[in-house]
């Protein structure tokens, strides 16, 4: 498994869908994952350090995990099937280890709140990632156009789409 971090949050200009960009630690490959607006807002609020007097939905999960004596140790983004990414929450409680199937967007929002590490597979970074040009730590999310991934793409078509995608094709996500 390869450790990744949330590099940024963007907006696909064609589909108007939010995209979370994960970047491998110490590397240049990035993995874009199209997500829903509610989850994007939850991620954006945590990245911005926004706190609310009452817990929001993604704030409840860490409270529940801790309240049941567990700790979220890491999030694994494990695979993609029919343009849908899959993730697992890895929770420890004493000597017990639990994995819970979850959407990557929710998993990332929860991991940010618990400071849990994010990981993905070499296969996803190799086959579904895009590479950042050398020397660029952050893409310029200026206004642009993107074809966006089309429903029903096979793995090879998705791989080709991601290879051709320019990070500048994404705009800033504003919650």
Domains by residue range for the chain, with CATH: 2-172 (3.10.690.10)
Residue 146: burial class (beta carbons within 10 Å; 0-12, 13-18, 19+): buried
The pLDDT value given to residue 150:
43
In angstroms and rounded to an integer, the radius of gyration of the C-alpha atoms of the chain is 16
Angstrom distances, CA of residue 101 to CA of 27, 88, 90, 98, 154: 27, 5, 9, 10, 23
- Name the one residue in this structure whose structure tokens are 């704030």: 59
The pLDDT value given to residue 165:
54
Contacts of 89-93 spanning 24+ positions with Cβ under 8 A = 91/65, 93/68, 93/69
162 neighbors 1 (Cβ within 8 angstroms)? no
The pLDDT value given to residue 109:
97
The pLDDT value given to residue 52:
85
The pLDDT value given to residue 126:
86
Going residue by residue through the chain, which has 175 residues, state the pLDDT in tens, using 9 for 90 and above: 999 999 989 888 778 889 999 999 999 889 999 999 999 999 999 988 888 888 888 999 999 999 999 999 999 999 998 888 999 999 999 999 999 999 999 999 999 999 999 999 999 998 865 554 444 443 333 333 333 444 444 455 555 555 555 555 555 555 5
Torsions phi, psi of 110, nearest 5? -75, -40
- Structure pTM? 0.75
Torsions phi, psi of 53, nearest 5? -65, -30
The pLDDT value given to residue 148:
43
The pLDDT value given to residue 117:
98
CA 6 to chain centre: 7
* Beta strand 84-93 pairing with 96-102: antiparallel
Give every CB contact of residue 2 below 8 A, 6+ residues apart in sequence. Answer: 24, 25, 27, 119, 120, 121, 122, 125
Give every CB contact of residue 67 below 8 A, 6+ residues apart in sequence. Answer: none
39 neighbors 85 (Cβ within 8 angstroms)? no
Which tokens belong to 99?
Answer: 């994995």
The pLDDT value given to residue 86:
96
């Amino acid at each position: 498994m390869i450790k990744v971090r949330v590099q940024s949050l963007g907006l696909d200009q064609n589909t108007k869908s939010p995209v979370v960009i994960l970047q491998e630690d110490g590397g240049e490959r990035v993995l874009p994952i199209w997500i829903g607006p509610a989850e994007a807002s939850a991620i954006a609020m945590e990245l911005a350090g926004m706190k609310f007097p009452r817990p929001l939905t993604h704030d409840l999960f860490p409270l529940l995990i801790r309240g049941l004596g567990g700790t979220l140790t890491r999030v694994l983004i494990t695979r993609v099937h029919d343009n849908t990414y899959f993730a697992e929450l890895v929770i420890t409680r004493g000597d017990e280890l639990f994995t819970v199937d979850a959407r990557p967007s929710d998993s990332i929002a929860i991991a940010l709140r618990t400071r849990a590490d994010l990981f993905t597979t070499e296969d996803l970074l190799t086959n579904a990632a895009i590479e950042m040009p050398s020397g660029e730590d952050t893409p310029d999310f200026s206004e642009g156009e993107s074809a966006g991934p089309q429903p029903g793409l096979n793995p090879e078509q998705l791989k080709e789409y991601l290879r051709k995608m320019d990070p500048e094709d994404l705009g800033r996500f504003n919650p």
